Amino acid sequence: ERRRVAFAALAGIKLDPIGHADLATIVLLSIVYTFDLCAIAFLLWNRNYAPLKSKYPILMSLCLVGMFVWFLGDLVLKSHVHVVGPVLSNCMLFCVWMRVVFGCFFVSALISIRSYALFCIFRRNRAFRGKYAYFSSGIAAFAALMFILVTYMLPKDRAVFYIPFVQMCSMSYTYRAIVQGLLWMTWVINAFINYRLRHITSSFNESREMGVACVCVLLLITYITVILYVYPLYPTAVSLRVSETVISHVITNFLWWFIMYIPMYNCAFRREEYLAQWKDKLVKDGLQKQYQISRTD
């Protein structure tokens, strides 16, 4: 590690060594994601419980998986671990496929699909299946495919590359713009959909949930974009790499639990009582059709 710091200094780069702050970040977020993976098991086991079923349990489980993969990609991109060897130095694998494609973009696309599902149900009075599900999933898959094609068409020094003497992965300015542009596009579309949902009548504050998610993530993307361009070698500074990783994953986890906490808590501790209250509220609000619950259920 001292040699890496010395080589960076010769190149005029101030490099903070990997240390206790990085270890604390890894341990803290590993504990969080271990709990999250347990939550996935609980959610899928109880996926037919009506209040959870209305939250799209498969989609929300995939979101947590995507967040975990994103975290693994962050460990390499931000040099929380020693990026050496044929596996960890594979920047294309960790920074493109894991951090972006199956990480932050995957999560963003799934949340956008969820917003579109709510739009179909509450604005179009159509069940989210068939052509509506295929259309939204197809758009997300097409965007991911175009991103991958552009990535592999670019020269390595214009996309993601490995810097041997400091043992870290980095992105060109062009590629940073492509990645951030993809995320900005996804969340602007999401925000537009949620703007159309602002006056819907729902029993369980779906519009508020997605509105909070849009505001928080747009602020997060703004923060990350500023860091990427103001501090291009931010992984060399322990304060920046740790803060960026912690803030990103704390916000995304907070938003997931903001959406899922109430039905999951009640499923675990007030299962039948909450289910009865949940159905009664739907009947009073006249929204059984939207939530696919009949009066006799």
Q: How confident is the model at residue 190 (pLDDT cuts 50, 70, 90)?
A: very high
Q: What integer pLDDT is reported at residue 184 of this predicted model? A: 96
Structure-model confidence comparison of residues 86 and 11, the more confident one: 86
Q: How confident is the model at residue 18 (pLDDT cuts 50, 70, 90)?
A: very high
pLDDT digits (tens, 9 = 90+) for 44-60: 999 999 889 888 899 99
Q: Residue 295: is its pLDDT beyond 60? A: no
Strand partners, 171: 160
In 11-130, which residue ranges form alpha helices assigned H by DSSP? 20-45, 50-53, 57-77, 85-88, 91, 105-122
Q: What integer pLDDT is reported at residue 202 of this predicted model? A: 56
Q: Which long-range contacts (CB under 8 A, 24 or more apart) does 68-71 make?
A: 68/33, 68/36, 68/37, 69/98, 69/99, 69/102, 69/103, 69/106, 70/98, 70/99, 70/102, 70/103, 70/104, 70/106, 70/107, 70/248, 70/249, 70/252, 71/29, 71/33, 71/103, 71/245, 71/249
Q: What integer pLDDT is reported at residue 6 of this predicted model? A: 85
Q: Residue 297: is its pLDDT beyond 50? A: no
The model's pTM is 0.91
Q: What integer pLDDT is reported at residue 102 of this predicted model? A: 97
Q: What integer pLDDT is reported at residue 257 of this predicted model? A: 95
Which range is least confidently modeled, 14-18, 117-121, 260-264, 267-271?
Answer: 117-121
Structure-model confidence comparison of residues 109 and 122, the more confident one: 109
